[in-house]
């Protein structure tokens, strides 16, 4: 749909996976929605991730993070099925399981994590090094311990973002690229319009889902939650497939905050760094070298893979690791949905459902207490 200023039921500021998902969900309830993005929608943090989807069990979830992850886990199958039916674009959703491994330390190094998964009602299979290699023959023989999450999934970020943009268009959402939010106009405790280079956008409701750029926008309204950019670099490898080549990985492999994610077509994502460097999204020699070293340690056959490309994204880090989801005290008709850090894509269906609940004054799908934007302020 052609972008244009005007009057809408809801204006979403930020066109990443959280903003697009929220707009798609809201438009599905019959609202007239616009999305404003300062650059190209979906090309910041959302594009830079690996699309991993850890499992959850809403009936047994104990913490705010577990509840939001479990809500998203429940929503993902229908979410992608609806997008596929509406747009014809397959987001590449699959649940083939995933491994967590350790290359050093004691054989008991993952015992606490295994107990935590079990307590949360998630199936988790402890594995010996030999059992892990039986599942994934490409793994190094030097791994010490591992576990398997059978319900671990993945989705292909670029395809999902294309599907969301097409889905938004199908539902009449006005997606405005290159349209930064410059200034709020308000009356009392309500925002009336947001000013942009192409004109004002008026709405009854506003959603700030601008990722690492959210805090300056919210500070203009009043006290704002603490959000900072954290650079994550990723390397995409490509290894030929066929009987004459070494075996490839079949499942995502996690090693703490690092990972290798196979795509099934010979491509493997290797990530990611966590660097507090402000708004610098460059790839660096040191960052890429560290990821390549990790890849070859985890799966030695990847030493023969081709480096297809590298990229980086700026992830929105909150002060305590949890996203901010709720209405801001500074403006009664502004909803905050930001600070997801590395989990924006995996939590996007649940976040979008909660944004809809907030905008439509519906009972929230899960408790919002843990995500209250007022729990912390700017430093």
- Give 184-234 pLDDT, tens digit per residue: 999 999 999 999 999 999 999 999 999 999 999 999 999 899 999 999 999
CA 36 to CA 318: how far, in whole Å? 22
For residues 88-112, average pLDDT: 95
- Tokens representing residue 86 in the block: 């509406």
- 21-28: average pLDDT: 98
pLDDT at 379: 41
Q: What is the pLDDT of residues 123-175, one digit of tens each?
A: 999 999 999 999 999 999 999 999 999 999 999 999 999 999 999 999 999 99
Summarize pLDDT for 279-336 with one digit per residue, the tens.
Answer: 999 999 999 999 999 999 999 999 999 999 999 999 999 999 999 999 998 899 999 9
How far is Cα 207 from Cα 247, in angstroms, rounded to an integer? 46
How much of the chain, in percent, has pLDDT values that exceed 90? 89
Please provide the average confidence, as pLDDT, over all residues in the chain: 94
d(CA 154, CA 157): 9
CB 40 within 8 A of CB 177: yes
Q: Give the right CATH number for 98-152+229-316 from 3.60.70.12, 3.40.50.300, 3.30.9.10, 3.50.50.60.
A: 3.30.9.10
Torsion of CA 70, 51, 345, 377, to 10 degrees: 90
Q: What is the largest CA-CA distance in the chain?
A: 70
Helix (H, G, I), strand (E, B) or coil at 73: helix
The rounded Cα 62 to chain-centroid distance in angstroms is 21
Candidates 3.50.50.60, 3.90.45.10, 3.40.50.2300, 2.60.15.10; CATH matching 6-89+156-226+320-375: 3.50.50.60
pLDDT surpassing 90 at residue 243: no
Measured CA distances, 78 to 168, 200, 375 (Å): 16, 35, 32
pTM over 0.75: yes
Domain boundaries, the chain: 6-89+156-226+320-375, 98-152+229-316
Distances (CA, A) of 77 to 70, 72, 82, 283, 366: 13, 9, 9, 34, 19
pLDDT at 70 over 60: yes
Which tokens in the block code for residue 85?
Answer: 């039916």
Give the model's confidence band at 376: pLDDT under 50 very low, under 70 low, under 90 confident, else very high: low
Contact present, 98 and 253 (Cβ < 8 Å): yes
Strands of 78-181, DSSP E: 98-102, 125-127, 145-149, 153-154, 174-176
Residue 378 clears pLDDT 60, i.e. is over it: no
> What is the per-residue pLDDT for 2?
45
pLDDT for the residue 5: 80
């Amino acid at each position: 749909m052609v972008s244009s200023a005007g009057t809408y039921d809801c204006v979403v500021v930020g066109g990443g996976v959280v903003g697009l998902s929220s707009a798609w969900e809201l438009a599905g309830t019959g609202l007239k929605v616009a999305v404003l993005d300062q650059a190209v929608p979906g090309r910041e943090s959302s594009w830079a991730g690996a699309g991993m989807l850890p499992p959850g069990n809403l009936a047994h979830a104990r913490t705010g993070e577990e509840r939001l992850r479990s809500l998203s886990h429940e929503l993902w199958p229908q979410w992608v099925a609806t997008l596929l039916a509406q747009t014809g674009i397959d987001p590449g959703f699959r649940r083939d399981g995933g491994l967590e491994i350790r290359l050093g330390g004691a054989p008991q190094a993952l015992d606490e994590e295994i107990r935590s998964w079990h307590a949360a009602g998630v199936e988790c299979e402890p594995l010996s090094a030999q059992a892990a290699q039986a599942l994934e023959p490409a793994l190094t023989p030097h791994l010490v311990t591992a576990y398997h999450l059978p319900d671990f999934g993945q989705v292909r970020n670029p395809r999902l973002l294309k599907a969301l943009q097409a889905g938004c268009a199908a539902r009449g959402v006005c997606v405005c690229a290159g349209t930064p939010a410059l200034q709020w106009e308000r009356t009392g405790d309500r925002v009336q319009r947001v000013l942009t280079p192409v004109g004002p956008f008026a709405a009854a409701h506003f959603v700030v889902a601008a990722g690492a750029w959210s805090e300056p926008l919210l500070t203009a309204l009043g006290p704002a939650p603490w959000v900072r950019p954290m650079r994550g670099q990723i390397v995409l490898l490509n290894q030929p497939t066929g009987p004459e080549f070494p075996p490839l990985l079949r499942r995502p492999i996690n090693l703490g905050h690092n990972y290798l994610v196979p795509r099934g077509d010979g491509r493997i994502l290797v990530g990611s760094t966590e660097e507090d460097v402000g708004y610098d999204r460059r790839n660096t020699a040191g960052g890429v070298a560290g990821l390549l070293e990790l890849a070859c340690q985890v799966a030695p056959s990847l030493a023969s893979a081709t480096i297809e490309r590298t990229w980086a994204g700026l992830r929105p880090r909150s002060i305590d690791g949890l996203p901010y989801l709720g209405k801001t005290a500074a403006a009664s008709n502004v909803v905050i949905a930001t600070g997801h850090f590395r989990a924006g894509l995996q939590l996007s269906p649940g976040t979008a459902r909660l944004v809809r609940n907030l905008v439509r004054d519906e009972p929230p799908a899960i408790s919002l207490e843990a995500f209250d934007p007022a729990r912390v302020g700017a430093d």
